[in-house]
Amino acid sequence: MPQQDNIEDKARERRSMSVARSGREPTIKDIAKAAGVSVSTVSHVLNEYGDISEDTEQRVREVMKELNYHPSALARRLVRKRSYILQLLLFSVEGLRHPFFYEVICGISAETEKAGYDLVLSIKDVRDKKWRDSLKRCYESRSEGIFVMGTLPGPEVPEEIESSQIPALFIDIPFEGARATYVTSDNIGGAMTATRHLISLGHTCIGLINGHVISPISNQRLSGYKQALEMHGIPFDAGLVHPGDFTEEGGGEVTARLLKDYPNMTAVFAGSDIMAIGAMKAIRAAGLKIPDDIAVIGFDDIEFASYVRPALSTVKQEGEVMGKKAARELLKLIRYPDRKPCKQVLSTELVIRESCGGCKVYHQGGGVQVVSGV
């Protein structure tokens, strides 16, 4: 038997050398011939069917390595009639420059890559009316699923995506359909907790720098702000609320306007950390101190929040976790077409640092994390 094995090894080596000398790319037939097996056996090894003996599979893989053979992903997809492509549509003025979006996309990418899918990212300005071109490319590439994130350019976007019958996962966009659902954070609860904390510190004139007027999460955070005021008997003043478009510049412009219109304002709640950082710059530019003159709280807990001075108090939401949960849910919708979509609302947490001046007077508990300094 050892002599027979040696003869077979030498024969396989001669066949491998013959293919290598030809100078062309090896094919699945070359692998089968060099390994002394059928083409179907090689195919079963490549597709990991698990019905080939361990010795045979090892022999096939050794030949593949010798011949430097790499299976064609395109050919495999054609055979399986699958694209293994997922599309991510991001509607945003800032695009990937927004740290929270980046965190979410990292979570999505980690899960989709692990599942063997390619993620195609398409970034559109929220003001761009050519968003249908991106959807058209999704159809043409036979994308198996779509992620949608950001501020939609119009209410017709979700309906048009659903009509395509491609499974869709919306992030921070509350939309549900037969093959569509969403993942979001508890925006109402998070905004309510932040506003109530400011009220507990004695603030009654609190400005709100919101995101986009048409953004669902902005409306939810506004709702949480209003509910907190109502719970404490503080009248709502619409003049204290302005959109900052989720940008640093917008946050600064709104804050400068509020400081001029409301000289008695003592606190600002921003609907994103980026806008809160813009607000802090405007407050300092006005010659005021944080938190002595104006307290500031943001939303997101991006990495920069703990680096700015004073360190920013904020509502923490887990961007990467949100991305991973979104990816897992979309993959389930793809794998199980008859499964009912399941929305997910993730909890938030108030992280108290220096910018609100409340480290010493607020106690831990109820979704609140007290952090001294940075």
> Do both 203 and 311 map to the same domain?
yes
- Close Cβ partners of 286 (under 8 Å, ≥ 6 residues apart): 256, 259
Structural domain tally of the chain? 3
Compute how many other C-beta atoms are within 10 angstroms of the C-beta atom of residue 3.
Answer: 7
Residue-wise pLDDT for 300-340, tens only, equals 999 889 999 999 999 999 999 999 999 999 999 998 988 89
pLDDT for the residue 197:
96
pLDDT for the residue 75:
53
Q: Which domain holds residue 172?
A: 85-185+320-346
Q: In this structure, what CATH number is given to the domain that contains residue 49?
A: 1.10.260.40
pTM for the model? 0.75
Residue 29 vs residue 327, higher pLDDT = 327
Residue 48 counted as domain residue: yes
Give me the residue label for tokens 């001075």: 309
Task: Sort strands 313-316 and 349-352 into parallel, antiparallel or unpaired.
Answer: antiparallel
> Do both 207 and 305 map to the same domain?
yes
Question: Which of 37, 71, 105 is where one domain is finished?
Answer: 71
Residue 22: band (very low, low, confident or very high) from pLDDT cuts 50, 70, 90 = low
> Do both 357 and 342 map to the same domain?
no
> Do both 274 and 200 map to the same domain?
yes
Residue 258 counted as domain residue: yes
HSE of 64 in the Cβ direction (CA atoms, 13 Å)? 17
> Do both 161 and 283 map to the same domain?
no
Q: How far is CA 314 from CA 68, 206, 271, 280, 352, in A?
A: 53, 15, 9, 13, 7
How long, in residues, is the chain? Answer: 374
Q: What average pLDDT does range 21-39 have in this prediction?
A: 79
Q: How far apart are CA 67 and CA 179, in angstroms?
A: 44
> Do both 133 and 269 map to the same domain?
no
Query: What tokens appear for 287 in the block?
Result: 């010659």
Residue-wise pLDDT for 1-13, tens only, equals 454 455 455 555 5
Question: Which of 11, 42, 71 is where one domain is finished?
Answer: 71
Q: In this structure, what CATH number is given to the domain that contains residue 331?
A: 3.40.50.2300
> Do both 56 and 168 map to the same domain?
no
Q: CB of 154 within 8 A of CB of 214?
A: no
> Do both 40 and 116 map to the same domain?
no
Residue 131: band (very low, low, confident or very high) from pLDDT cuts 50, 70, 90 = confident
Q: Which of 89-98, 266-275, 335-344 has the lowest mean pLDDT?
A: 89-98
HSE of 125 in the Cβ direction (CA atoms, 13 Å)? 5
Asked if pLDDT for residue 114 goes beyond 50, the answer is yes
Residue 79 counted as domain residue: no
Return the beta strands (E) in the chain as ranges: 85-91, 118-124, 145-150, 168-171, 180-185, 206-210, 241-243, 267-270, 295-300, 313-316, 344-346, 349-352, 368-370
Residue 366: band (very low, low, confident or very high) from pLDDT cuts 50, 70, 90 = very low
3-class DSSP assignment, residue 37: coil
Q: How far is CA 296 from CA 5, 193, 303, 352, in A?
A: 76, 14, 17, 10
pLDDT for the residue 373:
33
Residue 8 counted as domain residue: yes
> Do both 202 and 304 map to the same domain?
yes
Asked if pLDDT for residue 246 goes beyond 70, the answer is yes
Asked if pLDDT for residue 350 goes beyond 80, the answer is yes
> Do both 129 and 213 map to the same domain?
no
Instruction: Using alpha carbons, select from 251, 240, 243 the residue that is nearest to residue 275.
Output: 251
> Do both 118 and 208 map to the same domain?
no
pLDDT for the residue 153:
79
pLDDT for the residue 160:
86
Angle, helices 28-35 vs 39-46, to 10°: value is 110
Residue 55 counted as domain residue: yes
Residue 354 counted as domain residue: yes
Asked if pLDDT for residue 364 goes beyond 50, the answer is no
% of the chain beyond a pLDDT of 90 = 53
Q: How far apart are CA 131 and CA 123, in angstroms?
A: 10
> Do both 219 and 135 map to the same domain?
no
Start-end of H helices in 208-272: 216-231, 248-261
pLDDT for the residue 165:
85
Q: What average pLDDT does range 213-217 have in this prediction?
A: 89
Residue 185: band (very low, low, confident or very high) from pLDDT cuts 50, 70, 90 = very high
Q: CB of 299 within 8 A of CB of 191?
A: yes
DSSP state letter for 303:
G
% of the chain beyond a pLDDT of 70 = 83
**Hey, what amino acid is at 198?**
L
Task: Sort strands 118-124 and 85-91 into parallel, antiparallel or unpaired.
Answer: parallel
pLDDT for the residue 71:
66
Q: How far apart are CA 207 and CA 298, in angstroms?
A: 12
Question: Which of 71, 98, 126 is where one domain is finished?
Answer: 71
pLDDT for the residue 24:
65
Residue 80 counted as domain residue: no
Q: How far apart are CA 130 and CA 132, in angstroms?
A: 5
The overall average pLDDT reported for the chain is 85
Q: CB of 290 within 8 A of CB of 334?
A: no
Residue 147 counted as domain residue: yes
| Burial environment of residue 328 by CB neighbours within 10 A (0 to 12, 13 to 18, 19 or more) | middle
Q: How far apart are CA 309 and CA 14, in angstroms?
A: 70
